[in-house]
Amino acid sequence: MKNGIKYILGSLRMSVLFLKRRLTHQQFMLFSCVAVGLLVGLAAIILKLFVFRIEKYVFEYWKIGNILWYQSLLPVVGIGISALLVYRVFKNNFLKGNDKIVYSIAKQSSNLPLSQTYSHVLTSGITVGLGGSLGLESPIVATGAAIGSNYGRSVLLSYKDKTLLIACGVASGIGTAFSAPVAGVLFALEVLFIEISTASFIPLLISAATGAIMSNIILGDEILLSFTDIKSFDYNNVIFYVGIGLFSGLLALLHLKSFQWMQNLFEGFHSRKRKWLIGSLALSVLIFFFPQLYGEGYLTLKAIAETGNIDGRSILIRFTDNQWIILFYLIAVMILKIFASGFTLFAGGNGGSFAPALFIGGMLGFIFGRFCQMIGFHDIPMANFLVAGMAGMLSGVFFAPLTAIFLSAEVTNGYSLFIPLMIVSAISFFVVKSFESLSYEMKRLSKDKHIDVTDRDAYLMSRLELRLLIQDDYPRFLTTDKLDTIIKKIAESDKDVYAVVDDNGVLKGLIRLKNFKYILLERTGDREKLTAEDLMQKEKALTLKDDIDSALHMFEISENTNSVLPITDSKNVLLGFIRKSSILDKYRRELLESSN
């Protein structure tokens, strides 16, 4: 079986390589974008159908949904299986979050592990299908990025082309998940900070459109998130949309702060089993009292948009018709979704914050509309408010106002709400941006990996790695080498700096030509006895842990404006030298490649 799969994949690869030789580069890249779009679309459809079938069995065949105790315990099983797969089967070689994709583009030459092409489909499907309160969009994005990366690597494409195919995979993933091709393209550019030239928009759109067509043909409205009861924009409701924008911005800020707090909390639990038990059991308690927190929540959103009513299975509202009690219940569901998704993620489940953000925003819009109705405003477009809330929350959580606008417009099958969506998304983004400079995932990237995505120059610099700039062709002296040996080597070399090491290669100091003659003039009487240790000067060295910014700072503060610095490993063993000019030349090449 395994040999058969390898043979098929090998044959496909040879066929694609044959096409690569026959086609022009532009033609081959267009073909590749369609191929990646089809593969990612297929993976997204498999994941969506996988979760849909699990939920169908749970609620229609096993009837577990009728017994809240059983339903609330399912996430414990789902998260446990997912965590077990991650640590046992995939050996923790598992990248969660959009920040990991950005890191791979910046630091790993756009190379993602092959296992990412299928591991997210399996683990997120089990997590969400069995009630984990997360979404499938982030796993679909990770899968799409991995498919694009591994396709590009298998057919020997350049870094730039692999990055384009990663963007195509991401665009196709979002395009398939929501049948929203434009939103898919914007997501790749806004959320993942993938730099694409104007000419590359065509391949991106082709990949996204390919995924959207596949989802429309295979999935249909039963699985896709869509809204039909949308009314035309009434300028008299502008003040309401401003209110939704403000509240969604504050909710997005609460989401960011809560996730930071929960991450710190769970990092304090060193046992994986303890994380799983605490997180999954806390989620189970929430689902028991608030069944709407089960799974993605899209069915709840579609139901309240169509009927205007909430599922009344919860014991908290089962026996009441009081609209104010129900309103406060809805507010609790909205806020607790933040913590439900956090418990799922940090307990070991796999999924993303995309669906929770849409759920929270949709609930906010519905609650806002219901409140307006209860205080006397009767002509309220509830579905419009629900979609506007989704846009506001998505804009604030992901710092992606354009993605939020176009996604919300595309899931409503039209652009009649374009103006209110712009108002809500812009206000929400402004509110969050006033307090936080980065989204949760990009802040994690900046803190843990020291990659600054807010500044283009800093981002390009962060893509450079010191280990790739090491020059090891500099002569070395042992500490015991005599002056005659030193002068002979210097005469044969064109270098202006020399390392002095001990017998184990540990760096002891440097001999720089510009200082060498002055030291000799000072030691006129005993030159025959001089050794490298006498002639060297101790200088601070770079290490592999340093980044480019640290290296440039050391060049600036080094005495006599040195243009070459030594670099060592963790044991101070000399690896070679770094030239300041090499860093600047590499940066210029990155800048030119990015501009082109």
**Mean per-residue pLDDT for 213-226?**
83
| Cα–Cα dist 389/401, whole Å | 12
Please name the amino acid found at residue 405: I
**Stretch among 416-425, 442-451, 561-570 having the lowest mean pLDDT:** 442-451
The superfamily in CATH containing domain 464-595 is: CBS-domain (3.10.580.10)
- What pLDDT is recorded for position 539? 86
pLDDT band at 4 (very low <50, low <70, confident <90, very high): low
Query: Among candidates 538, 544, 539, which has minimal Cα distance to 567?
Result: 544
DSSP state of 434: T
Which residues make beta-bridge pairs with 564?
579
Per-residue pLDDT, 1? 54
Q: How confident is the model at residue 529 (pLDDT cuts 50, 70, 90)?
A: confident
pLDDT tens across 331-371, in order?
Answer: 999 999 999 999 999 999 999 999 999 999 999 999 999 99
CATH topology of domain 235-461: Clc chloride channel (1.10.3080)
Q: For residue range 446-476, what is the model confidence (pLDDT) as tens digits?
A: 777 677 776 667 777 777 788 888 998 889 9
- What percent of the chain lies above the pLDDT cut of 90? 50
Fold match, 2-218 / 235-461: yes
Average pLDDT of 217-223?
80
Report pLDDT for 523: 64
Q: Any idea which fold 2-218 has?
A: Clc chloride channel (1.10.3080)
Which pLDDT value is given to residue 437?
Answer: 86
Give the tokens for residue 287: 């689902």
pTM: 0.86
What angle do the packed helices 272-289 and 323-346 form, to 10 degrees? 160
Domain spans, the chain: 2-218, 235-461, 464-595
Phi-psi region at 179: left, alpha or beta (left = phi > 0; alpha = psi -120 to 50): left
Averaged pLDDT for residues 141-159: 93
Q: What is the pLDDT of residues 161-186, one digit of tens each?
A: 999 999 999 999 999 999 899 999 99
**pLDDT band for position 264 (cuts 50, 70, 90):** very high
Q: How many residues appear in the chain?
A: 596
Q: pLDDT for 80-110, tens place per residue?
A: 999 999 888 887 777 788 888 888 888 888 8
